[in-house]
Amino acid sequence: MRKPIIAGNWKMNNTASEGAELVKALKPLVKDAKCEVVVCVPAIDIPAVKKAIHGSKIRLGAQNVHFAEKGAYTGEISANMLKEYGVQYVIIGHSERRAYFGETDETVNKRTLAALAAGLTPIVCIGESLEEREGGLTQKVLDNQIALDFQGIEDFSKIVIAYEPIWAIGTGRTATDEQANETIGYIRKRMKKVYAGKNVGRMRIQYGGSMNAKNCKGLMAQPEIDGGLIGGASLKTADFAAIVNFDK
């Protein structure tokens, strides 16, 4: 069985005090959650949120990590720095990082390996643009990302993939339940072929394209979908709790 995982990506939202208040309000609402619950917060919020989630089921995640252990990388944060602060998960290769900050498949791979080496669980984002989907290139794009982003990984039960159709992020558009399930099923099938014998069957794949309180039940009912990487809805306590409690 693959345990579902619902992870909130706050992006560049919430000060430390705002973030602490949000998770304090969230804690009683998700205390009976049957899935893993993660909040991926801005780096500066990590100490306050760590304190606020103490004693709850909520796990702490970061939104990026550098691939070097240390060095002259002004403004960057290493995996060991995150680990020492109690971070357990880290988002890698989000479409916004790729689009705005020059993230490449090569650097996604290096960051993923660094996170694993430090004992963090990477949430690695892959997905296609609207132009690529409409051009019939979805599988080709995913094949390329699968081939490059995951080189050198020996145990895929230790990572999470977030399939994020870029055309459905922050646009209000969402893939249908069937579209999301079909594409995630393709990713799983392709991963098993490319990385056979490396525990791919235990790897979880989230949907990361505008999952919200209204559409979560339909998406989570699909057999290939193991959870969600939640953007805007994770900033609203009631909405995020509704997604976490999708099975109720």
Catalytic sites, residue numbers = 94, 164
Could you tell me where the DSSP H helices lie in 126-205? 130-134, 138-149, 177-194
Token output for 53: 């989630």
Report which residue type is found at 242. A
Residues in the chain, how many?
248
Q: How far apart are CA 225 and CA 67, in angstroms?
A: 29
Could you tell me where the DSSP H helices lie in the chain? 16-26, 46-52, 79-84, 95-100, 105-117, 130-134, 138-149, 177-194, 216-220, 237-244
Closest CA to 63 of 118, 120, 113: 120
Closest CA to 209 of 179, 162, 164: 164
Could you tell me where the DSSP H helices lie in 90-137? 95-100, 105-117, 130-134
Give the gyration radius of the chain's Cα atoms. 17
Closest CA to 169 of 96, 100, 62, 218: 96
Sign, CA torsion 71/72/78/80: positive
* 10: phi then psi, degrees, rounded to nearest 5: -70, -15
